[in-house]
Amino acid sequence: MGHHPFPPGFLWGVATSAFQIEGATRDGGRGESVWDRFCTQPGAISDGSDGARACEHFSRYREDIALMRELGVRSYRFSIGWTRVLPSGSGPVNEAGLAFYDRLVDALLAAGIEPFATLNHWDQPQALMPAGGWAARDSVDRFVEYADATSRRLGDRVKRWATHNEPWCIAILGYENGMHAPGLKEPRKALAAAHHLLLSHGRSVPVLRSNVKGGEIGLVVNLVPAHPASPSEADRTAARELDGSFNRWFLDPVFKGSYPADAIDDRVALGHLDSADLPFVHAGDLAQIQAPIDFLGINYYSRGILRSTRVPETENAPRTIPAPPPEAMTDMGWEVYPDGLREILVRVHQDYAVKRLYVTENGCAYSDGPDSSGRVADVRRREYLRGHLLACKRALDEGVPLGGYYQWSLLDNFEWQFGYSKRFGIVWVDFETQQRIVKDSGLWYRDVIVANAVDDEDTRERALRSA
Ligand code: FCB
């Protein structure tokens, strides 16, 4: 049996986001965000729900901080609700909104938990949509204004700041696939949106630096290792294309100051760009996007296994990676593949030489609920977490400067287009009564944090077996 200690000071955390847990969407002067509006579109959310109540964290935050304290969590990654601070997308700021985050941060610090704030976890003010939302360059200034107002207020106490969460999701799911707010299906706008997100990130970095003395400033991206289903050229091309559009499109500008040439050509071939000259990139933009950052946050859930759709199955090589069986999938239909986390951490370290990395999200949806004694025995989640933490450990052993791990998520919550039907929490939430129950995975995580180590087998189960 292996016992795998983590480095001293490793940040054991949990993550949430404002819209997914806060509720109280009309309280405290909060303005409408694109997600409030999206939820009103018929069919947009699979269970017809919205964020109006969610986990009522806006009024129950003290209880939730107490839970984190019980679990021994050292750091809490949360997001600031953009429309709580700037209800209509541009000044004046809403004092009541900032005051809420003041109270939250103070309560975290009093509990000995380090706050880690994300500025944009997808809740852009709806008021910015008539101008085009992220597809419009004006959103860059609006975001910098918001970053400035928020960090001025909280920067004395919050030392770790991420600008955006998963710009790929905002731009591509929001503006190209229409699955997320604002629900557009316009690939050209998606590319402009991606650029404006990156530019607003880069332009906020110096602002955050000056408002947050001694802080760490970074960006959070979701990355997917792209594996060809067979060694055929067609499958390898499909994998390269996904890597280009998903991973490198966001990493290269930030760390190399350019968009990946092959991925630009792919977009031209798809008719999403007229030529390799990107019309939305102005002189000087890429230098600003490349502003040096202190960390990159990586959200990892699964890998991609790419089978070409351009070659008929019968003409393609036999698969060497079969499609994963249903039992290898979480409730999201995502394959459980822990080594992909090690792979992506090592790859980012080697290709981009980032100063520090955090796993800013990792977790799984399983529906296990309380049994008759009120216990939530979510063994699959515990094993998912164990596998991924051991992958982090292997990455550390390979020299990756990994500073912490944030489990997604503290609470079962509003999972975007799936509403309340997918449960990612290590704490069960009854959405009617708002009762919280720490799941077995949460108790296990608490033991990991206390030991600052992960065992590669469950000690109690082993003891039972050998008894
Ligand atoms: C990520 C999001 C997060 C959550 C998880 C499951 O893409 O950042 O808000 O929904 O997926």
Residue 94: CB partners within 8 Å, gap ≥ 6?
28, 29, 30, 31, 84, 85, 86, 87
**408, 412, 413, best to mutate for ligand 1 pocket (most atoms within 8 Å of CB):** 408
- Relative to the CA of 222, which ligand 1 atom is closest? 7
- Relative to the CA of 169, which ligand 1 atom is closest? 7
Using DSSP's 3-state secondary structure scheme, residue 339 falls into helix
pLDDT of residue 467: 67
The tens digit of pLDDT for each residue in 359-369 reads 999 999 999 99
Return the H-helix or E-strand segment holding 325.
Answer: none
Question: Could you count the other beta carbons within 10 Å of the beta carbon of residue 361?
Answer: 26
Check residues 118 and 457 and name the one with the higher pLDDT. 118
Which DSSP letter does residue 274 get?
Answer: S
What share of the chain has pLDDT > 90, as a percent? 97
The tens digit of pLDDT for each residue in 243-293 reads 999 999 999 999 999 999 999 999 999 999 999 999 999 999 999 999 999
- Nearest-CA residue for ligand 1 atom 10 is 415
- Relative to the CA of 220, which ligand 1 atom is closest? 8
**123, 415, 422, 423, best to mutate for ligand 1 pocket (most atoms within 8 Å of CB):** 415
The tens digit of pLDDT for each residue in 134-184 reads 999 999 999 999 999 999 999 999 999 999 999 999 999 999 999 999 999
pLDDT of residue 109: 98
The tens digit of pLDDT for each residue in 38-53 reads 999 999 999 999 999 9
- Nearest-CA residue for ligand 1 atom 4 is 415
Among the listed residues 22, 145, 176, 361, the single catalytic one is: 361
pLDDT of residue 461: 72
Among the listed residues 32, 166, 241, 343, the single catalytic one is: 166
The tens digit of pLDDT for each residue in 281-313 reads 999 999 999 999 999 999 999 999 999 999 999
Confidence of residue 457 (pLDDT cuts 50, 70, 90): confident
The tens digit of pLDDT for each residue in 391-405 reads 999 999 999 999 999
Number of domains in the chain: 1
Q: Is the peptide bond before 325 cis (omega within 30 degrees of 0)?
A: no
Partner residues linked to 242 by β-bridges: none
pLDDT of 1 strictly over 90: no
Across the range 204-222, mean pLDDT stands at 98
- Relative to the CA of 363, which ligand 1 atom is closest? 6
Q: Give catalytic status of residue 361 as yes or no.
A: yes
Using DSSP's 3-state secondary structure scheme, residue 134 falls into helix
Cα–Cα distance for residue pair 181/93, rounded to 1 Å = 24
Using DSSP's 3-state secondary structure scheme, residue 75 falls into strand
Which residue ranges have their beta carbon within 6 Å of ligand 1?
17, 20, 165-166, 169, 222, 299, 361, 408, 415-416, 424
- Relative to the CA of 332, which ligand 1 atom is closest? 6
Cβ-in-10-Å burial (0-12, 13-18, 19+) of 171 comes to: buried
Cα–Cα distance for residue pair 108/74, rounded to 1 Å = 10
C-alpha 456 chain-centroid distance? 26
pLDDT of 466 strictly over 90: no
Cα–Cα distance for residue pair 152/131, rounded to 1 Å = 27
Using DSSP's 3-state secondary structure scheme, residue 78 falls into strand
pLDDT of residue 398: 98
- Relative to the CA of 365, which ligand 1 atom is closest? 6
Across the range 87-99, mean pLDDT stands at 96
HEC string of 174-232 equals HHCCCCCCCCCCCHHHHHHHHHHHHHHHHHHHHHHHHHCCCCEEEEEEECCCEEECCCC
**197, 299, 418, best to mutate for ligand 1 pocket (most atoms within 8 Å of CB):** 299
Residue keyed to tokens 């999201």: 332
Phi-psi category of residue 63: left, alpha or beta, with phi > 0 → left and psi -120 to 50 → alpha: alpha
Q: Which letter, b or e, does each residue of 176-212 get, where b requires 16 or more Cβ atoms within 10 Å of its Cβ?
A: bebebbbbbeebbbbbbbbbbbbbbbbbbbebbbebb
User: What is the domain range of residue 68?
Assistant: 3-466
pLDDT of residue 61: 99
Across the range 401-418, mean pLDDT stands at 99
Report how far ligand 1's centroid is from the alpha carbon of 329 (Å): 17
Check residues 467 and 251 and name the one with the higher pLDDT. 251
Assigned token pair, 81: 């609700």
**19, 166, 180, 381, best to mutate for ligand 1 pocket (most atoms within 8 Å of CB):** 166
pLDDT of residue 460: 67
Confidence of residue 205 (pLDDT cuts 50, 70, 90): very high
Domain with 78 in it: what CATH number? Answer: 3.20.20.80
Mean pLDDT taken over the chain: 97
pLDDT of 465 strictly over 80: no
pLDDT of 28 strictly over 80: yes
Cα–Cα distance for residue pair 16/389, rounded to 1 Å = 19
pLDDT of residue 459: 64
Report how far ligand 1's centroid is from the alpha carbon of 31 (Å): 22
Across the range 437-456, mean pLDDT stands at 98
Report how far ligand 1's centroid is from the alpha carbon of 298 (Å): 12
Across the range 179-203, mean pLDDT stands at 99
Report how far ligand 1's centroid is from the alpha carbon of 415 (Å): 7
Q: What secondary structure does DSSP assign to 369-438, as a single string?
A: ---TTS----HHHHHHHHHHHHHHHHHHHTT--EEEEEEE-SB----GGGTTS----SEEE-TTT--EEE
Report how far ligand 1's centroid is from the alpha carbon of 414 (Å): 10
Question: Residue 8 half-sphere exposure, CB side, CA atoms within 13 Å?
Answer: 0
Partner residues linked to 335 by β-bridges: 329
Partner residues linked to 361 by β-bridges: 299
Report how far ligand 1's centroid is from the alpha carbon of 459 (Å): 31
pLDDT of residue 232: 98
The tens digit of pLDDT for each residue in 315-328 reads 999 999 999 999 99
- Using CA atoms, how far residue 363 sits from 86, 102, 426, in Å, is 31, 28, 9
Using DSSP's 3-state secondary structure scheme, residue 115 falls into strand
The tens digit of pLDDT for each residue in 57-72 reads 999 999 999 999 999 9
Report how far ligand 1's centroid is from the alpha carbon of 179 (Å): 13
Report how far ligand 1's centroid is from the alpha carbon of 174 (Å): 14
